[in-house]
Amino acid sequence: MGDLSDRLEAVRERLATAAERAGRDPASVRLIAVSKTVPADRVREAIRAGVDTLGENYVQEARAKMADLADLTVAWHFIGRLQTNKAKDVIEGFSLIHSVDRLKLARELDRRAGLHGRTLPILIQVNLSGEETKGGAAESEALDLIRTAAGLEHIEVRGLMTMPPFFDDPDRARPFFRSLARLAEAARQRLGLALPELSMGMSGDFEAAIEEGATLVRVGTAIFGRRS
């Protein structure tokens, strides 16, 4: 377990240092270990090393791991692009959906959550880069989506998520993180919502994201190593 434990400890140290540099309590930032394509036995090792929240991108893969790891206590977040016809598959087992980017999906999640008698916490994903390969509502449409989704009965809009373009220099991602934080503040002011969560930052840039206000960072490679 040494290698994975060492990686996890290094990430936690980087997280704490970035938070302290920004004058924040490190406990205000939650580490999401992104386990997509990572085998269940390796994920089990991570949980035993102290990981308490996992992020998965694919519904079927996540479901298989949930079954394999049912004997362990861990929270599961869905962070990948979600087709509306898969909404029924994320209602149970996931404590937060990061990637709601359109009203049709929000309404289907609301309907399905209602059938299960629960309120489902979600984040609204915003595409700030304009990249067609990334999901997310356009920034110009985000406030309307937040407003309408927040009015649905069985989902709770907890905040926003974004994925900036890939840069070798994490400081180049900073304007995207800053824009998401500004958008969240605008939504709070105009819509009267709490929106406590900002999901932004991955292995290469999570420190910059924390300095710009991230409360959830999605880290895979820095914990599990490079995927094949």
Query: Residue 92: which pLDDT band, with cuts at 50, 70 and 90?
Result: very high
pLDDT in tens, 75-91: 999 999 999 999 999 99
Q: Mean per-residue pLDDT for 194-201? A: 98
Residue-range domains of the chain with CATH: 2-224 (3.20.20.10)
Of residues 152, 145, 148, the one with CA closest to residue 119: 152
Q: Mean per-residue pLDDT for 158-178? A: 95
pLDDT at 228: 66
Query: Residue 133: which pLDDT band, with cuts at 50, 70 and 90?
Result: confident
Q: Mean per-residue pLDDT for 109-134? A: 95
Residue 115 has pLDDT above 90, yes or no: yes
In the three-class reduction of DSSP (H, G, I as helix; E, B as strand; rest coil), residue 138 is classed as: strand
Residue 2 has pLDDT above 80, yes or no: no
Place of tokens 């992104």: 34
Residue 141 has pLDDT above 80, yes or no: yes
Q: Mean per-residue pLDDT for 192-219? A: 97
In whole angstroms, what is the distance from residue 45 CA to residue 5 CA? 9
Instruction: State which H helix or E strand residue 139 sits in.
Output: helix 139-150
Q: Mean per-residue pLDDT for 93-118? A: 98
pLDDT at 227: 76
Residue 158 has pLDDT above 60, yes or no: yes
CA 87 to chain centre: 17
Residue 124 has pLDDT above 80, yes or no: yes
pLDDT in tens, 20-51: 999 999 999 999 999 999 999 999 999 999 99
Of residues 10, 55, 15, 8, the one with CA closest to residue 210: 15
